[in-house]
C-alpha cells in the first residue's frame, strides 16, 4: 500500500502568499515602467531621430556616438508608443511635466502678489516698481526655470567642426590658430622690453664654463676574458694538482695529467731531475 505524502498546510499557505507577492510586484513594476514610458513625448524623440536621419541622408558620416543615439531613439520611440497604446495617455491625468492652465497660473500670481520674497525674480504678470529700468528692457520677458534650447543652426555648426576635426581636417587652420607655433623675430621679441632695459644691461655678463661633462658610452664586454675566467671545479682541481698546490704529484699522476693536457714536458723535467738527485743522494 502506497503511503500518502504528508502535506503541511502552513507551508503551502506561505508558498501561495509568496507567489502572490511576487506576481503583484512584477505587475506593479510593469505598471510603473509603462507609466514612465507613457509620460515621454514621442514627437520630441521623433524630431531628434529625423534630424539624425536627415544628416545621414545628406552624405555626412555619422559618428559612433550619433549612431548609438539613433538606435536608442528608435527603440525608445517604439517602447513609448507601445506603452501609450497599452497604458493610455497619462500625461493629462498625472499632471507631471505639464504646464498649469493659464487661468490657474494667473490666479496663483494674483494671490501671491503681496507675499513676495526679496531677491526672488518676478513672473511675467507682475510689474516692476523700479523707475530706472528703461521701457524697452521692461518689455523683455523674464526667463523661466530652464534655459532656452540652443538653436539647431548653432548645433549643426558645432557638430560640423567636430566631424571635420575627427575625419581628417587640414591642419593648417589649426596650426595658424596656435600662437606658439608662429615664428617671432628678434625685433618683435625685444618689443615692449626696450623701455625697461637699463644702462647696466649693456655690460656683458661673464659666461661660466661648464665644469662637469656627462657622457654616455656603450659598455663593451670582453667575452673571451669572461670565458677564460670561468673554470669548472674539476678542471681547477686538476690544474692545482699539476702545479703541486696543496698536494704532491706522483710520477704516474704526472704522466696522466700530461696526457690529459694539464701538464707539459717542461714542467715534468724539473720534477724528475729533483727525484733523481734525491735518489742518488740516498
Prediction pTM value: 0.28
Rounded CA-CA distance 31/37 in Å is 10
Query: In the prediction, which pLDDT does 104 show?
Result: 54
Longest Cα–Cα distance of the chain, Å, equals 146
**For the residues 123-152, what does the mean pLDDT come to?**
68
Query: In the prediction, which pLDDT does 280 show?
Result: 45
Query: In the prediction, which pLDDT does 97 show?
Result: 43
Which range is most confident: 29-43, 93-107, 122-136, 192-206? 29-43
Does residue 84 carry a pLDDT above 50? yes
pLDDT digits (tens, 9 = 90+) for 95-134: 444 444 455 555 555 555 544 444 455 554 444 455 667 7
**For the residues 34-40, what does the mean pLDDT come to?**
85
pLDDT digits (tens, 9 = 90+) for 224-240: 888 777 778 888 888 88
**For the residues 248-254, what does the mean pLDDT come to?**
81
Average per-residue pLDDT in the chain?
A: 72
Amino acid at each position: 500500500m502506497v503511503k500518502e505524502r504528508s502535506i503541511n498546510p502552513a507551508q503551502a499557505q506561505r508558498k501561495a502568499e509568496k507567489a502572490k507577492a511576487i506576481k503583484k510586484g512584477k505587475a506593479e513594476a510593469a505598471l510603473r515602467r509603462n507609466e514612465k514610458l507613457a509620460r515621454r513625448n514621442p514627437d520630441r524623440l521623433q524630431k531628434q531621430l529625423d534630424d539624425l536621419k536627415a544628416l545621414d541622408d545628406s552624405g555626412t558620416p555619422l559618428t559612433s556616438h550619433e549612431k548609438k543615439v539613433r538606435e536608442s531613439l528608435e527603440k525608445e520611440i517604439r517602447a513609448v508608443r507601445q506603452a501609450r497604446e497599452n497604458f493610455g495617455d497619462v500625461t493629462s491625468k498625472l499632471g507631471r511635466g505639464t504646464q498649469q492652465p493659464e487661468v490657474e497660473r494667473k490666479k496663483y500670481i494674483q494671490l501671491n502678489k503681496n507675499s513676495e520674497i526679496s531677491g526672488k525674480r518676478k513672473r511675467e504678470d507682475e510689474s516692476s516698481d523700479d523707475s530706472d529700468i528703461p521701457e524697452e528692457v521692461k518689455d523683455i520677458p523674464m526667463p523661466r526655470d530652464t534655459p532656452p534650447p540652443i538653436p539647431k543652426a548653432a548645433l549643426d555648426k558645432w557638430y560640423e567642426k567636430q566631424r571635420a576635426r575627427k575625419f581628417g581636417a587640414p591642419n593648417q587652420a589649426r596650426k595658424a590658430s596656435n600662437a606658439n607655433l608662429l615664428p617671432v623675430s628678434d625685433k618683435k621679441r625685444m618689443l615692449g622690453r626696450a623701455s625697461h632695459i637699463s644702462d647696466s644691461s649693456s655690460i656683458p655678463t661673464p659666461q661660466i664654463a661648464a665644469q662637469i661633462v656627462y657622457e654616455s658610452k656603450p659598455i663593451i664586454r670582453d667575452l673571451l676574458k669572461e670565458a677564460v675566467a670561468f673554470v669548472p671545479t674539476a678542471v681547477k682541481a686538476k690544474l692545482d694538482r699539476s702545479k703541486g698546490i696543496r698536494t704532491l704529484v706522483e710520477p704516474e699522476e704526472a704522466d696522466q695529467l700530461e696526457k690529459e693536457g694539464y701538464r707539459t714536458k717542461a714542467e715534468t723535467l724539473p720534477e724528475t731531475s729533483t727525484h733523481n738527485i734525491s735518489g742518488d743522494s740516498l
